[in-house]
A and B are shown apart, each in its own frame.
Chain A
Amino acid sequence: MQAMLNTGSTIEEGRLAKGGSKLTEEYTQECAVCEMNPVDFQAMGSPQRVLISAMDGRHSVSVYAYAADSVERGQIFMPRAIWANVVVDPETFSTGSPLYKGSPVRVEATFEDVLNAGDLVLKLYARGR
């Protein structure tokens, strides 16, 4: 399905990021997450994991999926962290600030493994290193 991505702080994400724990399993469990409206979640077959893809198809990331009443239909919420930013639209509309909120994305059920932040960097970014 197509959805509107909203990224933002969660208190646990803040605790782990400020505590220098970005490369830990706990950070992955807290931040490699997609919260969906329960109706959308069930329509997708209540998947354990979903693949979030940017609309241009260039980048995608697998994260854990959860149903959450706080999110409206057609929207998803991801904690602000490396997983969400893989699919955030880099266009800044001449402001310097990307679309951290309100980026259109595609969401589908997946069996792809969820990578921790370190493995995600190695897979997506650090090929030349």
Chain B
Amino acid sequence: MMASKNIVCPVCGASCDDIQVELSGDKINVKNACKMGNAKFQEIVSSHRISQPLLREKGIVRPCPWEEAIERTAEILADASRPLIFMGSETSCEAMEVGLHLAEFLGAAVDSNSTVCHGPTAMGIQEAGRVGATAGQSKSRGDLAVYWGSNPLESMPRHMSRYAVYPRGYWTQRGRFDRTIITVDPRKSITAENSDLHIQLRPNTDYELLSALLVLLHGKRPHPSVEKVTGVSISQMEEMLELMKSCNFGSIYVGLGIASSYGKHRNAEAAFNLVKELNARTKFVIGALRGHCNVAGFNQIASYLYGFPFGLDFSRGYPRYNPGEYTAVDLLRERDVDCALIVSADLVSHFPAACAEYLAEIPVACIDIAPCPTTMISDVVLPGVIDAMECDGTFYRLDDVPIYFQPFTKSPFSNTKSNADTMKQIFEKVKALKR
């Protein structure tokens, strides 16, 4: 039996770094992980793990040698006139870096889960700037947390216990008893049930509610129609704002309730502006609750390599950025690419139907660890290596802090050490074909 401590969990943006595992033959015992984390760690010994490359020819799927799968993937990319490379979030920054360079070489579009996750939030940061803090600062100093459009008890189960609600901090010696929790959500989620105040706004009215809070913060009274629009009474808004103004250190954790609903980046911009203004009264910060493990990583890597956080297009030889045009959902919906390489993501499940339909029509290669709708429609399936379990690398945590992870076992495949290694092999083959 092999026991390992301080393993980083590769599931959500919390990047929990206190996982303990005991690996023994075909059994793995996991401590400290949440339900989702434990399920992912069990993948290392699961019977459904994709263990060999698969190739689809004339509708028939067959196992194939590793080199043939790499060659076919490279051919798909090299033969296309407008490829899409999609770097999913459940892999390392090192793999994402290769994907970005490959896109530049091919003149491809390259995008990531970060676009459909908190892309609008990133755009809001570009509009308004962000007052931020590391998760450790919020944990140590925060005495008020606002979950706006997020439900961490189901999407990031250990966020409350590691970073925001239950730990003892500088102002909060009694942990949860000294902290105030506000949840803004149209649904009475379990996070809302466990909060001190639940603001149950109507769907798609985040912008109006944020604007009304800003008006109140400026000492004015919002127009009464805002109650009908948002479904929230002005007295409730005042109660919420009073809690926010009177805390020592407040943190807003925005979720997809802001980024995915109507208003999009304007919702995020309004939230960032509210936090800026709150800093005239007390210390207040805001950050995104990033659902997938390295979804923040793509924003960081793409920004420092090419200047833009997501949705990059290299078709003119240099990076261009125009959300809504070069972003994966829009490119697929408008049928504006002619092949796709999908790494560690299940786009057929998680993109709208119009996009999934088109993906099923064009040549697709993917890297994944388990069968899913995307592997079903792919022409080439390359087995994925599980980051943080089978190889080392870097994730960016939800607060944009880089976390270096080390594995407790090694890749089960003789042909590749990691997804970054697989991507490098594809890149080399593409270069050879294009020479």
Contact = CB atoms under 8 A, between A and B. Distances in A.
Contact of B40 (A10, A19, A121): A19
Interface in B220-263: 256-257, 259-262
Given A96-B119, A117-B349, A121-B377, A15 B260 contact: no
Nearest to B331: A96
A86 B346 CA distance: 14
B330 interface: yes
Interface residues of A, number: 56
A99 B204 CA distance: 10
Given A19-B43, A92-B329, A99 B377 contact: no
B371 A23 contact: yes
Contacts of B43: 18-20
A124 B357 contact: yes
Contact of A81 (B36, B265, B349, B361): B349
B346 to A, nearest CB: 7
A124 B356 CA distance: 9
B188 A70 contact: yes
Contacts of A19: 39-40, 42-43, 46
Q: How large is the interface on B (under 10, 10 to 19, 20 to 34, 35 or more residues)?
A: 35 or more
Contacts of B329: 90, 92, 96-98
A96 B111 contact: yes
Contact of B360 (A58, A59, A129): A129
A9 B349 contact: no
Contact of A20 (B35, B265, B356, B371): B371
A72 B377 contact: no
A94 B157 CA distance: 31
Interface in A60-105: 69-72, 75, 77, 80-82, 85-90, 92-102
Contacts of B285: none
Contacts of B330: 92, 96
Contacts of A128: 360-361
Given A14-B155, A95-B324, A126 B377 contact: yes
A57 to B, nearest CB: 12
Interface string A1-32: 00010101111101110111111000000000
A111 interface: no
B348 A82 contact: yes
A94 to B, nearest CB: 3
Nearest to B38: A15
Nearest to A86: B353
B125 to A, nearest CB: 13
A90 B333 contact: yes
A85 B203 CA distance: 18
Contacts of A125: 348, 353, 356-357, 359-360, 373, 377
A80 B360 contact: no
Contact of A96 (B116, B154, B203, B373): B116
Given A22-B373, A125-B359, A88 B352 contact: yes
B377 A101 contact: no
Interface string B305-326: 0000011000000000001110
A15 B265 CA distance: 30
B15 to A, nearest CB: 14
Given A85-B352, A125-B357, A22 B346 contact: yes
Contact of B39 (A18, A81, A117): A18
B204 to A, nearest CB: 4
Contact of A129 (B59, B203, B264): B59
Interface in A111-128: 117-118, 120-122, 124-128
Q: Which of A19, A82, A101, A121 has the most CB of B within 10 A?
A: A101
Nearest to A35: B187
A92 B324 contact: yes
B348 to A, nearest CB: 6
Nearest to A79: B154
Contacts of B133: none
A119 B144 CA distance: 46
B376 A96 contact: no
A19 B42 CA distance: 7
A11 B36 contact: yes
Contact of A22 (B36, B123, B372, B377): B372
Interface of B: 11, 35-40, 42-43, 46, 48-49, 56, 59, 111, 115-117, 119-120, 123, 149, 151, 153-155, 157, 186-189, 200, 203-204, 256-257, 259-262, 264-265, 291, 310-311, 323-325, 327-330, 333, 346, 348-357, 359-361, 369-373, 376-377
Interface of A: 4, 6, 8-12, 14-16, 18-23, 54, 58-59, 69-72, 75, 77, 80-82, 85-90, 92-102, 117-118, 120-122, 124-129
25 contacts: A6-B203, A8-B155, A11-B36, A14-B11, A15-B36, A18-B43, A19-B40, A22-B346, A22-B370, A82-B373, A86-B352, A88-B353, A90-B333, A90-B351, A90-B354, A90-B355, A93-B262, A93-B264, A93-B324, A96-B311, A96-B328, A117-B373, A120-B373, A125-B353, A125-B357
Closest 7 CB pairs of A and B: A20-B370, A96-B327, A94-B324, A19-B39, A90-B352, A9-B155, A100-B260
